[in-house]
Amino acid sequence: MFPIVSNDLIAPNLHRLVIQAPRVARARRPGQFVIVHADKQAERIPLTIADADIGQGTVTLFVQAVGYSTCRLVALPAGTSLRDLAGPLGRPTEIACWGRVACIGGGVGTAVLYPLAKALAEVGNQVITIIGGRSADLIILADELAEFSAEVLIATEDGSRGKQGFVTHVLQGLIADPRSVPQAVYAVGPVPMMKAVTDMTRPHHIRTIVSLNPIMIDGTGMCGGCRVMVGGELKFACVDGPEFDGHLVDFDLLADRLSTYRDEECRMLQRLPEKQRPAARKR
Ligand code: NAD
Ligand code: FES
């Protein structure tokens, strides 16, 4: 069993969970994830390890309550335990010294971006962080990212914080100026965002790494649930990724596969008690 040390709501439908898992805390590298199994009947949920505290023996996970299983997971209070937490899984991020790196987080993808950006800064990169959300209350980890970023640039769709628009509007400004153009870009967030980022960097030949979040089941390369096409080749995100060269990813196929179970997910949500269902999105 894996005790839940704390469970805090940090933005609408977004929880920060700190879990006691000393072995995973010691072994994990930036970019890796775990598969969480809340109880015997629960679905397996892949979650990026956003941070770890080796001294305390804990890992930090961010969970967006969007479906039946994630809503049940975030309803577990501190003091209860998860049945299983398997990991660390996936390949760690390849951390290189690029010079200036733009790290881009869209919405809850910012939680996945955080450990990558931190590791890139630790090896001496100048990290320009761009984070975006629909509104100011959905901007997460800005202060934490500011601790090691040269700059944190914010974009909100309603203009309630930072520049009005998408993260790509901010990236466009960086690329347009020879003094700020990045040598590499790391992007994590919704599929349309990652696609838009790669479309923007491709003509400038800027190396762009994305973190993919397909449906996962076993997390060990056995089930094929997480298959993605990268450079015309079949890859399993759980063992070959989750990070890939964004210019080679077939994002349309990924978006299509992510919507496979949408109707079933909607039906399952109706089974939850009203108070456990996610708050309605503003957009
Ligand atoms: P969201 O839809 O509110 O978007 C967040 C921000 O991303 C937007 O404010 C905007 O700045 C940017 N964005 C979105 N669409 C864009 C587009 N077409 N062009 C340019 N920029 C765009 O995101 P959310 O609700 O916070 O996040 C949920 C999504 O993130 C889900 O689809 C989830 O699967 C995905 N996600 C991905 C990962 C990953 O590892 N890639 C991790 C967690 C969540
Ligand atoms: Fe089963 Fe990747 S989750 S192969």
| Calpha distance 280→283 (Å, rounded) | 9
Q: Counting atoms of ligand 1 from 1, which one is nearest the CA of 166?
A: 11
Provide mean pLDDT across the span 87-92: 94
258: its two tokens? 């992510």
Structure confidence by residue, pLDDT tens digits, 181-240: 999 999 999 999 999 999 999 999 999 999 998 988 888 899 998 999 999 999 999 999
Segments making up each domain of the chain, as ranges: 2-89, 100-211
Contact 170, 163 (CB under 8 A): yes
Q: Whose CA is nearest to atom 4 of ligand 2?
A: 221
The alpha-helical segments, DSSP class H, found in 202-281 are 237-240, 251-258, 262-269
220: its two tokens? 């060990």
Ligand 2 center from residue 264 Cα (angstroms): 20
**Residue 283: which pLDDT band, with cuts at 50, 70 and 90?**
low
The CATH number given to 2-89 is 2.40.30.10
Ligand 2 center from residue 29 Cα (angstroms): 20
Contact 13, 64 (CB under 8 A): yes
Task: Please give the pLDDT value at position 197.
Answer: 98
Contact 206, 212 (CB under 8 A): no
The CATH number given to 100-211 is 3.40.50.80
Task: Please give the pLDDT value at position 231.
Answer: 96
Q: Is 109 in the pocket of ligand 1 (CB under 6 A)?
A: yes
